[in-house]
């Protein structure tokens, strides 16, 4: 019995389709890398911003918050927190500094991370920098 | 009972997988409670720590499951003993101890302290979602996976090469290669996110689906007796569609993270097609079972296999499609709807495929013959329904919460603040905790199935 669609045809679709997809994806990635400098606000990555990202990671902030919509959904979006707190890095620092060690009875509360002044400035500058990335107008409103 | 003695190394992998699964669910319940009782276990186990334990345990136990599955099916497919059972056992203990130490580290000291003592300053890779492991643990994972692939690869290459084993090996190599992007952590958050997805998306919506397809095909060959040629042709077509839709489908994560606008189109078009391979997998599983040439005594394994195909299609396919188009995702991105999709997709595709191969392999590994006793199979089937239905309910509740959140926080004329919205969703979250408890009952039922014996057996109790 002649088979209209054979296993080797199926294999060729897998190999050909898979390779083509990866090559196209790599091509799109190269193009994206060329266009990113116009959008990702990299010219404003200062040493404070770099330190801030390190502080962000070392304290696993993404374990509760989202940043540009990615992370955990337990605490507010922080991609636009700079704007939400009135375009103030100082307000971000006060917010982080003021968390009660034992939490708030019955409520979700951010832990007290005991950050140094330098680390606080870093995280605030990192969040300000993040808020200036061109995200195709996301989030839809100030509440994130 | 085993065709090849070295298949026995799969057993400790499966047992470890189930043990870590239980721990994962317990931490899931902790988080579920923290959603409604914000100070639960605070400050001892803050939410971010519980979440990290929950997700990392999931990844690790699924990896244990994939490894056990490979050690079980590759000798049988290759028609030879495993290249080195000793290496497989050594890697088992290394992986288990390293995994356990990492979890203990998460729970014993503040995360920043863990980062400091494990030398995160030397090569910072920590603190990114799902990749929270200390850099040294990541290096350990690479070593274990390379040793594992060497062992499996040597067995496949020097034995009979089947489509199932070659597809499995392709998936495993892809898993190892894309994990290497976990070590790339640029200061520029946009670049960081762009390549972070090369680990996360290209794993779960790419190469892991090859592993899933290979395991499913293996089990279907065994339990239906359908000609291997037919099953292998299906497998090729399914994984071809997976890569054709899923690789560029990565673009559905590139809408709002600083990447160019054309991803809104590219990501939408390709990811909208991602349900196709999952739909085909459902057709595949049912059509093979309908065309079966024998009635295999392990009917529990058949149920797990069919359940995998259907639930993966629902969770990954339908719930993924729901919010994958850019204009929709603009409002749904990073809400409880994302959590809903994540839960049913991971459960349907990866939890269930591991439980499928465990169900098929365990009776053979435990010298019970081709199938567990009837009573054990009945408990297994009951546990399937308890876990699957409760996970669907969790998904529906999170979907309800997500829709409410989108309406009040994202789309309202006067949007409410995040925390006010969360307070308004308490009913959904309480019901989710209850559904989670039912899931735990299902999991205990599953474990009980391993200890159940038929009445005729000498050890039977009243």
Taking the C-alpha atoms of residue B331 and residue B328, their distance in angstroms, rounded to an integer, is: 6
Whole-angstrom CA distances from B112 to A55, A125, B115, B116 are: 8, 20, 5, 6
Q: At what angle do helices B10-36 and B426-449 cross, to 10 degrees?
A: 160
Could you tell me if B115 and A58 are in contact, meaning their C-beta atoms sit under 8 angstroms apart? yes
Which pLDDT does position B459 carry in this prediction? Answer: 52
In chain A, residues with a C-beta closer than 8 Å to the C-beta of B31 are: 74
Confirm or reject contact between B48 and chain A (CB < 8 A).
yes
Q: Nearest-5° angle of CA B73, CA B177, CA B257?
A: 125
DSSP string, B60-99: HHHHHHHHHHHHHHHHHHHTS--S-HHHHHHHHHHHHHHH
Interface pTM, i.e. ipTM: 0.97
Q: Which of residues 327-366 of B touch A (CB under 8 A)?
A: 330-331, 333-336, 338-339
Asked if A63 lies within 8 A of B51 by C-beta distance, the reply is: yes
Contact B130, B168 (CB under 8 A): no
Residues 232-261 of B with CB under 8 A from A: 232-233, 236-237, 239-241, 243-244, 247-248, 250-251, 253-261
User: Could you state, in order of their start, the residue ranges of all structural domains in chain A?
Assistant: 1-38, 42-144
Q: Which of residues 102-121 of B touch A (CB under 8 A)?
A: 111-112, 115-116, 120
For the stretch B152-196, pLDDT in tens is 999 999 999 999 999 999 999 999 999 999 999 999 999 999 999
Question: Which of B256, B280, B343 to mutate: most A Cβ within 10 Å?
Answer: B256
**A101 in contact with chain B, both atoms CB, cutoff 8 A:** yes
A103 contacts in chain B (CB < 8 Å) = 38-39, 42-43
- For B247, B324, B325, the CA distances from B270, given in Å and listed in that order, are 8, 10, 10
Report the residue of chain B nearest A13, measured CA to CA.
B240
- Residues lower than pLDDT 70 in chain B: 456-462
All domains of chain B, ordered by start, with CATH?
Answer: 1-118 (no CATH), 226-450 (1.20.210.10)
Residues of chain A positioned with their CB less than 8 A from the CB of B188: 40, 42, 45
List phi, psi (to 5°) of A67.
-135, 120
| pLDDT at residue B121, as a whole number | 96
Given an 8 Å threshold on Cβ–Cβ distance, is B188 in contact with A21? Answer: no
pLDDT attached to residue B235? 98
Residue A19, min C-alpha distance to chain B (Å): 9
pLDDT for position B1: 79
State yes or no: pLDDT of A1 exceeds 90.
no
Cβ B47–A108 below 8 Å, yes or no? yes
Name the residue in chain A with its Cα closest to that of B398.
A73
Using DSSP, state whether A70 is helix, strand or coil.
strand
DSSP line for A6-68? -HHHHHHHHHHHHHHHHHHHHHHHHHHHHHGGGTS-GGG--HHHHHHHHHHHHTTGGGT-EET
- For residue B455, what pLDDT is reported? 75
DSSP B294: S
- What pLDDT sits at residue B461? 46
Q: Is A83 on the interface with B (CB under 8 A)?
A: no
Query: pLDDT digit string (tens) for A82-105?
Result: 999 999 999 999 999 999 999 999
For chain A, say whether B231 makes contact (Cβ under 8 Å).
no
- Which residue does chain A place closest to B188, by CA atoms? A42
Say if residue A133's pLDDT is above 80. Answer: yes
The answer to whether A17 contacts B248, with C-beta atoms less than 8 Å apart, is: no
Q: Within an 8 Å CB–CB cutoff, is residue B128 touching chain A?
A: yes
8 A C-beta contact, residue B305 and residue B220: yes
Q: Do A21 and B126 touch (CB under 8 A)?
A: no
CATH number (1.10.3190.10, 1.10.760.10, 1.10.1240.10, 3.40.190.10) of A42-144 reads: 1.10.760.10
Residue A2: its pLDDT value, please? 60
Q: Tell me whether A132 touches chain B (CB under 8 Å).
A: no
Q: Are B406 and A73 in contact (CB under 8 A)?
A: no
State how far the Cα of B306 lies from the Cα of B283, in Å rounded to an integer.
10
Interchain CB contact of B456 with A (< 8 Å)? no
Instruction: For chain B, say whether A142 makes contact (Cβ under 8 Å).
Output: yes
Q: Chain B 141-180, CB below 8 Å of chain A: which residues?
A: 163
Write out chain B residues lying below 8 Å of A39, CB-based. Answer: 190, 258-260
Contacts of A50 in chain B (CB under 8 A): 187
């Amino acid at each position: 019995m002649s088979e209209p669609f054979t296993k080797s045809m199926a294999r060729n679709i897998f190999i050909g389709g898979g390779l083509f997809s990866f090559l196209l994806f790599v091509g799109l990635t190269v193009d994206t890398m060329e266009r990113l400098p116009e959008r990702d606000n990299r010219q404003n990555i200062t040493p404070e911003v770099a330190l801030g990202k390190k502080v962000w990671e070392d304290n696993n902030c993404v374990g509760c918050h989202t940043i540009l919509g990615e992370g955990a959904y337990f605490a507010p979006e922080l991609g636009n927190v700079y704007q939400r707190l009135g375009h103030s890095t100082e307000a971000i620092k006060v917010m982080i500094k003021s968390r009660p060690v034992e939490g708030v009875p019955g409520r979700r509360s951010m832990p007290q991370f005991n950050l140094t002044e330098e680390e606080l400035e870093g995280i605030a500058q990192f969040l300000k920098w993040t808020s200036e990335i061109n995200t195709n107008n996301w989030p839809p409103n100030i509440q994130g | 009972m085993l065709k090849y003695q070295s298949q026995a190394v799969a057993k400790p992998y499966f047992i470890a997988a189930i043990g870590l699964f239980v721990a994962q669910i317990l931490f899931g319940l902790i988080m579920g409670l923290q959603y409604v009782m914000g100070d639960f276990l605070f400050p001892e186990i803050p939410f971010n720590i519980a979440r990290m334990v929950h997700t990392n345990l999931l990844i690790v136990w699924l990896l244990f499951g994939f490894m056990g599955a490979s050690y079980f099916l590759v000798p049988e497919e290759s028609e030879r003993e495993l290249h080195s059972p000793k290496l497989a056992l050594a890697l088992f203990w290394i992986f288990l101890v390293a995994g356990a130490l990492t979890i203990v580290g998460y729970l014993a000291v503040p995360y920043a302290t863990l980062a400091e003592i494990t030398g995160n300053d030397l090569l910072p890779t920590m603190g990114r979602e799902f990749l929270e492991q200390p850099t040294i643990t990541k290096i350990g994972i690479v070593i274990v996976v390379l040793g594992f692939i060497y062992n499996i690869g040597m067995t496949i290459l020097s034995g009979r090469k089947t489509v199932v084993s070659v597809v499995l090996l392709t998936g495993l190599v892809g898993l190892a290669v894309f994990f290497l992007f976990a070590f790339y952590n640029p200061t520029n958050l946009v670049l960081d996110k762009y390549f972070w997805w090369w680990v996360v998306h290209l794993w779960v919506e790419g190469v892991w689906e090859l592993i899933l397809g290979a395991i499913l095909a293996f089990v279907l060959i065994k339990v239906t007796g359908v000609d291997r040629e037919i099953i292998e042709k299906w497998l090729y077509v399914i994984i071809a569609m997976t890569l054709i839709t899923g690789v560029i489908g990565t673009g559905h994560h590139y809408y709002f993270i600083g990447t160019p606008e054309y991803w809104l189109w590219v990501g939408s078009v390709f990811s909208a097609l991602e349900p196709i391979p999952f739909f085909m997998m459902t057709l595949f599983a049912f059509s093979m079972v309908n065309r079966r040439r024998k009635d295999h005594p392990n009917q529990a394994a058949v149920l797990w296999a069919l359940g995998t195909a259907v639930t993966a299609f629902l969770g990954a396919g339908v719930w993924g499609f729901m919010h994958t188009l850019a204009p929709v995702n603009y409002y749904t991105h990073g809400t409880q709807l994302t959590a809903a999709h994540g839960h049913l997709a991971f459960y349907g595709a990866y939890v269930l495929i591991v439980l499928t191969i465990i169900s098929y392999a365990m009776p053979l590994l435990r010298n019970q013959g081709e199938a567990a006793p009837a009573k054990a199979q009945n408990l297994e089937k009951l546990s399937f329904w308890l876990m699957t239905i409760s996970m669907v309910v969790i998904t529906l509740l999170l979907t309800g919460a997500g829709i409410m959140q989108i309406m009040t926080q994202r789309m309202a004329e006067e949007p409410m603040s995040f925390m006010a919205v969360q307070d308004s969703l308490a009913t959904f979250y309480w019901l989710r905790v209850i559904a989670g408890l039912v899931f735990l009952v299902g999991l205990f039922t599953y474990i009980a199935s391993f200890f159940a014996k038929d009445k005729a057996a000498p050890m039977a109790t009243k």
